[in-house]
Amino acid sequence: MAQVFHRSINWVAKFSIIAILGLVGGLFSVLLNINRLDYVSGVGVARDQPVPFSHKHHVTGMGLDCRYCHTSVETSAFAGIPPVETCMTCHSLIWTEAPLLEPVRAAFRDDVPLQWTRVHDLPDFVYFKHNIHVSKGIGCTTCHGAVDQMPLMKKAETLNMEWCLSCHRNPAQFIRPRDRVFDVNWTPPADQELRGQQLVKDYNVRVSQLTDCSVCHL
Amino acid sequence: MNRALMHVIQLMVLCGALLVSGCDLRQRMYDQPKYEAHEATTFFDNGLTSRGPIEGTIARGQLRLDAHLFTGKVNGELATVLPPSIPFGKDLLERGHERFDIYCSPCHGRTGEGNGMIVQRGLKQPPSFHEARLREAAIGHYFEVMTNGFGAMYSYASRVPVEDRWAIAAYVRALQFSQRADFDKLPAQDQGQLP
């Protein structure tokens, strides 16, 4: 039987071995890194909302505390999305004619909840609890970024598991005094690592257990 | 050779199908057939997943018999003292201070003079807590206003729990006192601070 391929074509066989290895490797690195892309994780993307609510205006401009609206953040897993009654506490008297606020007034009038688009949505197999984080000295801005500077709400972090673990492995780098948890202007001091280790001790954070599967995936 | 090629192609198709079904399974695990807090539903008419209590029913542990504690009134009159179940102390005032700054100061201001940021931006100015009328008002009055609202002010009952409302009422008293403290009763250290 005659040779099908000429001998000068042999490089194709050698090259294809490398090419297949490269292709498989490339495919793996794409699969491994795809969740790190802002396009996939939604970092920095402002979603469409029924009302273009500005945290910047309400927090920086008006000086409202996070808890004025997110009332259940200290006591429950869910921080709480305020009912329109909370909006109307002021907006029944201020900006009463503003067309932008018509959905709020309509919701209040007709007793139909506003349907906000969720910005921070964890997978359903993750059981995140706001109350424990807040009570152990993890501040709002550590995970949510500079919300006080956001005219429209955006995710500041990927909320990927590797991101959660980066803190669960070493919370000392982010933990702050309890009375600064809701302080949007808090920045880590120069000796954060040292102070953080002390706070981890003071607040009885058991770091060795923080990476147990069952801590987040009950 | 053709058969070998066919096997390879079959294997690739199978792998591809597995990968794609993996994406679908992953998506179904991310968004499981259960409701998260505030998630919308088509199951109930009003679109809410949470059900309110049926009218005329009281959940276990939520019977509110203690009128003093829950309404701020004793025998129909505004209470002049804290309910017995709210122990007075530094902790209560500190809690009240914190909660006052969160929920009240936007309008009433941190000192209770009624010049909070929202007022500066056009909301109707509330009366100062340092007026004679409000200084003399019973403590139950503050609890009652927080619970049921007053004039332009909405009720804060759904936002501030009962114990915190009493803590705030106690702190309002402390604020009032702070503006009219007796100089002779101040600690020497504070006396030295005044001109």
Q: Is residue B104 part of a domain?
A: yes
Closest CA to A62 of A102, A96, A89: A89
- CB neighbours (10 Å) of residue A139? 21
Instruction: Tell me if B102 and A68 make a contact (CB, 8 A cut-off).
Output: yes
Which residues of B are less than 8 Å from A92 in CB distance?
A: 152, 154
Residues 6+ apart with CB under 8 A from A77: A127, A128, A129, A130, A131, B37
Query: Which bin fits B44, alpha (ψ -120 to 50), beta or left (φ > 0)?
Result: beta
* pLDDT score at B184: 84
Pairing status of strand B77-78 against strand B73-74: antiparallel
Per-residue pLDDT tens digits for A113-150: 899 999 999 999 999 999 999 999 999 999 999 999 99
Smallest CA-to-CA distance from A165 within A204, A212, A102 is with: A212
Q: Is the pLDDT of residue B187 over 90?
A: no
Summary count for chain A: helices (H), strands (E)? 11, 0
Q: How far apart are the first and last CA of chain A?
A: 65
Please say if the pLDDT value at position B23 is more than 80: no
| Mean pLDDT score, A22-34 | 91
* B15 domain residue, yes or no: no
Contact A181, A139 (CB under 8 A): yes
Q: Is residue B69 part of a domain?
A: no
How far apart, in whole angstroms, are the C-alpha atoms of residue B81 and residue A200? 40
ipTM exceeding the 0.90 mark: no
Alpha-carbon span B195 to B193, nearest angstrom:
7
Residue A94 lies in a domain: no
Q: Which of A65, A93, A125 sits opposite B101 (nearest CB)?
A: A65
Residue A87 counted as domain residue: no
> Inter-chain contact A124–B40, Cβ cutoff 8 Å?
no
Touching check for A16 and chain B: CB below 8 Å? no
Q: Search chain B and give the residue with CA nearest A127.
A: B36
pLDDT at residue B141 in the model: 97
Q: A205: which 2 tokens?
A: 């954070």
Domain membership of residue B144 as a residue range: 87-180
Confidence at residue A6, expressed as pLDDT on a 0 to 100 scale: 85
Q: Which of A75-84, A192-201, B123-132, B183-192 is the least confident region?
A: B183-192
Domain that holds residue A184: 73-79+121-216
Q: What's the average model confidence in pLDDT over A9-13?
A: 87
Does residue B57 sit in helix, strand or coil? coil
pLDDT of residue A31 exceeding 90, the answer is no
> Could you tell me if residue A134 is inside a domain?
yes
The residue written with tokens 């200084």 in the block is: B135
pLDDT of residue B5: 81
Give the residue, A9 or A76, on which the prediction is more confident.
A76
d(CA B40, CA B50): 9
Contacts with A82 (C-beta within 8 Å, 6 or more apart), sequence order: A69, A70, A71
pLDDT tens profile A61-103: 999 999 999 999 999 999 999 999 999 999 999 999 999 999 9
Q: What is the pLDDT of residue B11?
A: 86
CATH value at residue B114:
1.10.760.10
Facing A81 at nearest CB: one of B38, B47, B121 = B38
Question: Does residue B128 lie in a domain region?
Answer: yes
Reported as a pLDDT band with limits 50, 70 and 90, residue B24 is confident
Structure tokens, B53 = 């209590």
Phi, psi values for residue B23, rounded to 5°: -60, -45
* Confidence at B47, pLDDT banded by 50, 70, 90: confident
Is residue B1 very low, low, confident or very high in pLDDT (cuts 50, 70, 90)? Answer: low
For B93, the token pair is 């005032």
Closest to A191 (Cα-Cα) out of A201, A182, A199, A179: A199
The residue of chain B with its CA nearest to that of A65 is: B102
Average pLDDT (A155-175) is 95
Residue A50 domain-assigned (yes or no) = no
Contacts with B99 (C-beta within 8 Å, 6 or more apart), sequence order: B160, B164, B167, B168, B171
Note whether B154 contacts A77, CB cutoff 8 Å: no
A81 contacts chain B (CB < 8 A) = yes
Q: Give me chain B's average pLDDT, please.
A: 91
Would residue B107 count as lying in a domain? yes
Domain count, chain A: 2
Within an 8 Å CB–CB cutoff, is residue B158 touching chain A?
yes
Q: What is the pLDDT of residue B107?
A: 96
The reply to whether A181 falls in a domain is yes
Q: Which residue of A has its CA nearest to B45?
A: A112
Tokens of A175: 């933990």
Could you give the number of structural domains in chain B?
1
pLDDT, position A2: 76
Question: Is A163 inside a domain boundary?
Answer: yes
Chain A residue at shortest CA distance from B122:
A94
Q: Could you report the per-residue pLDDT of B71-102, keeping only the tens digit for each?
A: 999 999 999 999 999 999 999 999 999 999 99
* Residue A91 resides in a domain: no
Q: How far is the C-alpha of A62 from the C-alpha of A90, rounded, in Å? A: 12
Establish if B172 belongs to a structural domain.
yes
Say if residue B2's pLDDT is above 80. no
Of A23-37, A51-65, A193-207, B123-137, the least confident:
A23-37
**Distance (Å, whole) CA A18 – CA A13:** 9
Encoded tokens for A116: 């906000």
Residues 115-134 of A with CB under 8 A from B: 115, 123-125
Q: Is A127 inside any structural domain?
A: yes
User: What's the pLDDT tens digit per position in B151-161?
Assistant: 999 999 999 99
